[in-house]
């Protein structure tokens, strides 16, 4: 299964993309195929969009999410980005190649050549949403503990 994360952040005034990248860059891999794209909004270069596509299973996902929780504690972005962050998560339910020129015939939804069974998707989405919510709560709790220890 391919899980996608889209995270929208805005650089603080006076901060650069390089400042962001140095703070954001992961020091540990996820242990599963993961590709990250960092996008700068053409209409607002201070808006940085991270698009991550990860091939994982529901069994692997909790440990993968904990790696990200730890990364954000090790490399906080608080000094570089504004507090408002928009996060969207999803599961790839279809891959389509529109590269050829000319007419393209309709194909059923598939991922990696395997037809998608939409009867299973709702349960998968619910399970993943619960896992992501738990990881987010863990991150906020650990961040609060860390801030109390410092302050």
pLDDT tens digit sequence for 120-131: 999 999 999 999
Percent of the chain whose pLDDT exceeds 90: 74
pLDDT at 150: 74
**For the chain, percent of residues with pLDDT exceeding 70:** 99
The DSSP line for 61-118 is: HHHHHHHHHHHHHHS--TTTB-S--EEEEEE--------SSS-------EETTEE--H
CATH 3.30.70.100 for domain 2-93+109-150, yes or no, is yes
Q: What is the pLDDT of residues 82-93, one digit of tens each?
A: 999 999 999 999
The encoded tokens of residue 150 equal: 């410092």
Query: How many helical (H) and strand (E) elements, i.e. helices and strands, does the chain have?
Result: 3, 6
Across residues 32-39, what is the average pLDDT? Answer: 97
Residue 26 has pLDDT above 70, yes or no: yes
Q: What is the pLDDT of residue 71?
A: 81
For 45-84, how does the pLDDT look when each residue is reduced to its tens digit (9 = 90+)? 999 999 999 999 999 999 999 888 888 777 678 899 999 9
pLDDT at 75: 67
């Amino acid at each position: 299964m391919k899980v996608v994360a889209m995270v929208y952040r805005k650089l603080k005034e006076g901060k650069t993309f390089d400042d962001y990248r140095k703070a954001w860059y992961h020091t540990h891999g996820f242990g599963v195929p993961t590709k990250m794209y960092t996008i700068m909004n053409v209409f607002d270069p201070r808006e940085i969009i991270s698009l991550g596509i990860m091939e994982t299973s529901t069994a692997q996902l909790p440990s993968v999410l904990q790696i990200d929780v730890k990364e954000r504690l090790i490399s906080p972005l608080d000094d570089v980005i504004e507090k408002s962050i928009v996060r969207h998560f999803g599961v790839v339910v279809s891959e389509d190649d529109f590269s050829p020129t000319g007419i393209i015939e309709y194909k059923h939804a598939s991922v990696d050549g395997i037809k998608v069974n939409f009867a299973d998707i709702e349960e998968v989405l619910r399970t993943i949403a619960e896992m992501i919510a738990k990881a987010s709560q863990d991150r906020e709790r650990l961040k609060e503990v860390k801030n109390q220890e410092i302050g």
